Structure 1
């Protein structure tokens, strides 16, 4: 069975000092700095769009890449303020198998919808037309330039980036405004969000586990398809040729959290996790297929499959060695049929 980590996690007892140390380090050393950087880069992106909104602008594209890199540092934290108001999907609406994003944008541009000029109102549009993947369409898909007027498209890009900056800042404010303290004080008598410290650890472990699963099964698995039917057109962010870059930044961020969670398991397990992360980094660097468009070529496919296998290996280490030390049991995903 390939899937080692379940969506369902069962909390078991754990000694309080280790829990408190791990939780506090995750909050202060990973979550809060990650959101601070993501919010700052999103503001830079909005400022870049105000300065120059043309899709071919190198400065704007560079700001989009930097902001996407920073977002991948927190995108695996799929709990807390990120889930409020559909914020998580509004920032990263992918996979999008039916092409809802490009269609929604085409409707807005074709109609010159006034909502595209109003960042506050834009928060109410479909998540498919918001966030990094929608903005990739505006910046990298030449078909977008054939719809509507350049003036409206410019206004829309500025509105989209302002909406993104507001959204990330709202998530960060949610953390600094109370959620961080709630996570750090898990088990306190009046803590309704995390009634026990085990609840907090289960949440943190689940973020790392499911984040790795998403990289293996979606970011790599979708374009890999099957040997008889590879699906390179399903690669994330292929228009901007950053499909593999997304895997690299995401796994790096998840690895940072995983190393914090591995501390109670001892130095040997920590060393195993670090070595596995290093191997993944090396394999990504060697793949030389930024948009994952070479998955039909046998040699290129083998390199991508090797990355996926190493991510699965890391998932196994978390399930078998890290979870028990945390007092969290990882079962099998019921959707796998295992």
Structure 2
């Protein structure tokens, strides 16, 4: 299971101010757009920017490990992986918007995997040494269960992971590097999507009758409150 560092407390500390703002009475004259913009600028964009930064570092660490296998580089890759998981643990409560497009949410982390489908697919790929799985572009078209953080966790910590410190199993490292590259691509796409002036952030922050997603301020704020009612409960009950 992925290691999560103080997930619930971090999310509460970072997002609670926005929930409190959303709960202010009408007499406080707080506009829905103001609340949403504060949430986007104060939490969502920084969270996905952090994920992108860590994912880029993870991709570099995996590349270095494959180029020069060693215990030091293996530990560096594992450290970069842990940092990326922690960054994802903060960002994943915003489980709507760009992260939902193109199955990115499931591709980033396929969990829970109660029937171990992902594990079996990863093991089968490693056993067959499918060359297409070492190409991030082709890997992105495969099963969601074998192209995200769960798959990379198996590469770095599962059976045979110790061989990454040597040159005996180059395919294992090549597959891990492809997974890391895929994670980096998704993180960058989501970060860029949240930054677009005319993208999802604008739709969320400017509800109205002509808005295809949020017809009024209540719908927009309800999405934010739902982060606590739905997403944090899901993480507590399913992830932890």
Tell me how far apart the structure 1 counterparts of residues 239 and 177 of structure 2 sit (CA, whole Å): 28
Counterpart of 1:17 in structure 2 is 30
Tell me how far apart the structure 1 counterparts of residues 237 and 64 of structure 2 sit (CA, whole Å): 38
2:155 touches 2:173 (CA, 8 Å); kept in 1?
no
Counterpart of 1:211 in structure 2 is 231
2:108 touches 2:147 (CA, 8 Å); kept in 1?
yes
Is the aligned partner of 1:121 residue 2:138?
yes
Deviations 1:13-38 (A, max 9, x none): x8473422211110110101111111
Counterpart of 2:180 in structure 1 is 161
Tell me how far apart the structure 1 counterparts of residues 132 and 210 of structure 2 sit (CA, whole Å): 42
Tell me how far apart the structure 2 counterparts of residues 30 and 161 of structure 1 sit (CA, whole Å): 24
Tell me how far apart the structure 1 counterparts of residues 57 and 95 of structure 2 sit (CA, whole Å): 24
Tell me how far apart the structure 2 counterparts of residues 31 and 163 of structure 1 sit (CA, whole Å): 21
Counterpart of 1:87 in structure 2 is 104
Counterpart of 2:51 in structure 1 is 38
- Secondary structure at the counterpart of residue 93 of structure 1: coil
- 1:185 equivalent among 189, 198, 206: 206
Is the aligned partner of 1:151 residue 2:170?
yes
Tell me how far apart the structure 1 counterparts of residues 206 and 234 of structure 2 sit (CA, whole Å): 29
1:39 touches 1:169 (CA, 8 Å); kept in 2?
yes
Range that drifts further, 125-134 or 15-24: 15-24
CA RMSD in angstroms, aligned pairs only: 2.1
- 1:69 equivalent among 69, 74, 86: 86
Tell me how far apart the structure 2 counterparts of residues 111 and 50 of structure 1 sit (CA, whole Å): 22
How much has 1:143 moved relative to structure 2?
5.0
Counterpart of 2:3 in structure 1 is none
Counterpart of 1:283 in structure 2 is none
How much has 1:107 moved relative to structure 2?
1.6
- 1:133 equivalent among 150, 159, 166: 150
Segments of 5+ residues of structure 1 without an aligned counterpart are 1-13, 221-338
Counterpart of 2:17 in structure 1 is none
Counterpart of 1:253 in structure 2 is none
TM-score in terms of structure 1 length: 0.57
How much has 1:144 moved relative to structure 2?
6.1
Tell me how far apart the structure 2 counterparts of residues 191 and 112 of structure 1 sit (CA, whole Å): 48
Deviations 1:238-285 (A, max 9, x none): xxxxxxxxxxxxxxxxxxxxxxxxxxxxxxxxxxxxxxxxxxxxxxxx
How much has 1:172 moved relative to structure 2?
1.6
Tell me how far apart the structure 1 counterparts of residues 123 and 135 of structure 2 sit (CA, whole Å): 17
How much has 1:117 moved relative to structure 2?
2.0
